[in-house]
Amino acid sequence: MIYLNTFHFPSPEQEEDYFFSFNPKNARTCYTTKYPFGMFRQRGLPEDFEFDDITVFCGNNGSGKSTMLNVIAEKLNLKRNSPFNRSDFFSDYVELCDYELDKTLSLNSCVITSDDVFDRVLDIRRVNNGIDDKREDLLREWLDSNSDNADTTLHGLDDYERWKRVSDARNKRKSQSQFLRSRLIRNIQERSNGESSLALFVDSIADDALYLLDEPENSLSPHNQLELKYFIEDCVRNHGCQFIISTHSPFLLSLKGARIYDIDSNPVKMCKWTDLLCVRVYQEFFKENEDKFAK
């Protein structure tokens, strides 16, 4: 499903016109950066980026592929959870951008970044720490309730909760572990960081929407990167989703039917994933070490 058909970044001429126009910001000397102005001026961007069901921006670190996603997300007013690097000139740059939709964007459309993945992992750690603390409290409660000095008498309605805990803990049918399981939520640390990261994408992506994914391979093992690839392909094929992805993962670059822009080339151009430098690096590395693999 195509939602975003084309996107236009400011041309060098538009950037020049902006700085020659009357703008109080231009006269101030307090700014150390006018980011993202100038970032792509000499990069030979196409007049309009055209998008498919899956479109990938591939480039080295610092190439600007994440900036492109942030500009698109801001222009389309997409939902996002994590903040991103911006300057006082960012909104002015976005104002100069233009786009064409094939279909009205769903409210589920959003941008998911590597920061969202890290935040999910940290949140899980915080929850697990809280669960561990609660487990210790419940263990002490079970031991106190099973001691010979435990008060098993009900002293009125206000005392019901305490009496119920003591009675529950002293119930011979419940072992210590059964008591803890009955009163403690399951520890969600059963998943690894990578599995939790993969689950974030599965939980966040709904039917019929546009999704911008910024380096989603972070924290994912090669196996889970392949799982994410298959998940994205299924979302496109069966659930009416469109994806725009910034990545240099060879697994995600091999997404079936993806339109790939090589952001490192000048001018920026479309190419096959097997022609990308970052993929060739993998190919050459494994070729050089081919004799080390068992026949």
Residues 184 and 208 in one domain: no
Task: Give the pLDDT score at 116.
Answer: 79
Q: Burial letters for 56-76: b for 16+ Cβ neighbours within 10 Å, e otherwise?
A: bbbbeeebbbbbbbbbbbbbb
* Domain identity same for 125 and 161: yes
> Do the Cβ atoms of 252 and 198 come closer than 8 Å?
no
In a domain, 186, yes or no: yes
CA 22, 36, 271 angle in degrees (round to 5)? 130
222 plus 124 within the same structural domain: no
Q: Is 144 helix (H, G, I), strand (E, B) or coil?
A: helix
Residues 135, 235: one domain? no
Q: Given this model, what pLDDT does residue 204 score?
A: 85
The answer on 127 and 110 residing in a single domain is: no
What average pLDDT is seen over the chain?
Answer: 80
Angle CA(20)–CA(26)–CA(30) in degrees, nearest 5?
A: 160
**Measured distance CA(295)–CA(283) in Å, rounded:** 18
Structure tokens at 51: 């998008």
Please tell me which of 114-128, 177-191, 211-225 the model is most confident about, judged by mean pLDDT.
211-225
Is residue 8 located within the same domain as residue 111? Answer: yes
Does 171 score more than 70 pLDDT? no
**How many beta carbons lie within 10 A of that of residue 101, not counting itself?**
13
Helix (H/G/I), strand (E/B), else coil: 4: strand
Give CA–CA dist 114/107, Å, rounded: 21
Which pLDDT belongs to residue 259?
97
Residue 139, pLDDT above cutoff 80: no
The model's pLDDT over 59-92, given as tens digits with 9 standing for 90+, comes to 888 889 999 999 999 999 999 888 787 888 899 9
- 259-289 per-position pLDDT tens digit: 999 999 999 999 999 999 999 999 999 999 9
Question: Residue 57 domain-assigned?
Answer: yes
pLDDT band at 137 (very low <50, low <70, confident <90, very high): low
Distance of alpha carbon 122 from alpha carbon 125, whole angstroms: 5
24 part of a folded domain = yes
Q: Can you give the residue range of the structural domain that contains 35?
A: 4-116+204-292
Torsion-angle region of 201 (φ positive above 0: left; ψ -120 to 50: alpha; else: beta): alpha
* Residue 210 DSSP symbol: E
Give the residue with greater pLDDT, 61 vs 141: 61
Shared domain for 186 and 162, answered yes or no, is yes
Cα separation, 151 vs 147, whole angstroms: 9
Q: How many CB atoms lie within 10 A of CB 239?
A: 13
- Identify whether 198 is part of a domain: no
Structural domain contains residue 158: yes
Same domain, yes or no: 104 and 243:
yes
Residue that is written with structure tokens 């920026």 in the block: 268
Q: Is the pLDDT of residue 99 over 50?
A: yes
Mean pLDDT, range 25-31, rounded to an integer: 62
Q: How confident is the model at residue 172 (pLDDT cuts 50, 70, 90)?
A: very low
Does the structure show a pLDDT above 70 at 26? Answer: no
Higher local confidence (pLDDT), 210 or 129: 210
Task: Output the pLDDT for position 188.
Answer: 46
With a cut of 80, say whether residue 134 has pLDDT above it: no
- 196 inside domain: no
> Any idea what DSSP says for residue 245?
E
Q: pLDDT of 195-248, one tens digit each?
A: 667 888 888 899 999 999 999 998 788 998 999 999 999 999 999 999 999 999
User: For the chain, what is the domain count?
Assistant: 2
Residue 67: predicted pLDDT: 93
Q: What is the pLDDT of residue 176?
A: 47
Same domain, yes or no: 219 and 131:
no
Residue 277: CA atoms inside 13 Å, Cβ hemisphere, count?
8
Give the residue-averaged pLDDT of 30-50: 86
Q: In this structure, is residue 262 part of a structural domain?
A: yes
- CATH code (residue 11): 3.40.50
C-alpha distances (whole Å) from 151 to each of 148, 164, 167, 225 are 9, 11, 10, 56
- Percent of the chain with pLDDT strictly greater than 90: 49
R_g (Cα) of the chain, nearest Å:
27
What is the per-residue pLDDT for 249?
A: 94
Q: Which helix (H) or strand (E) holds 212?
A: strand 210-214
How far is C-alpha 146 from the chain's CA centre?
47
